[in-house]
Amino acid sequence: MKKIGIIGGLSSESTIEYYRLLVRQYNKIKGGLSSPDIIIDSLDLETLTNQMQNKNYPEMLANLKQAAKNLVAGGAEVVIMATNTPHIVFEELQKSISIPMISIMEATAHKILEKKLNKIGLLGTRFTMQTGYYHKALKKFNIEVIVPELEDQNLIDKIIYEELVYHTITQESKEIYLEIIGKLQESGAQGVILGCTEIPLLIKQEDSPIPVFDTTTNHALAVLQFALAEEED
């Protein structure tokens, strides 16, 4: 298989989930004691979050570029960012390295299309919901993206940064998210993107009245499929 490079730490909880998913799925495919070839460059969430909130994209991109180059130097043959929000600079980051990157938005779009849906709610950090890069990426696939009202966006963001990044999971927060998903459904959403890689720690498909798209799982499985593609030919 191709060696997978992960830009992680954004947050560490989602990076752990990516690693767990990749190892378990690879072992399920290969059997025995098999485990995939993975390298991780873990960044400081505090630094990246401040850069995003201050719209200091050049410095954020510089940090991500260095992480990607570290992974390439370590032998990575495909790179992913184990996070949604920094994908706002995905295209620029991809251009900075000579090996492929797998986009979390495209991996998600393909799963939405498999279910033949075209109007989707988006949950994520306030940054992800407000900056529109998800809307732009999915519009290429003729998928309309809608987001919660501002008050609900603030609640979603607060729970992510005050609870989920620390792996604090509460029934109260789950009920808040499910109420917001219900509102999105009333607004015409046929499904909902869990557009922050920590949200799947809180919300599962069995919790939701409409399909949910777990960006963590979809992204991890997409990069594993890419890494194994030559073996399957």
Residues noted as catalytic = 83, 196
- Residues 40 and 223: beta-carbon distance below 8 Å: no
CA distances from 15 to 19, 20, 180, 203, 220 (A): 6, 9, 26, 17, 10
CA distances from 111 to 62, 84, 88, 115, 121 (A): 31, 16, 20, 7, 14
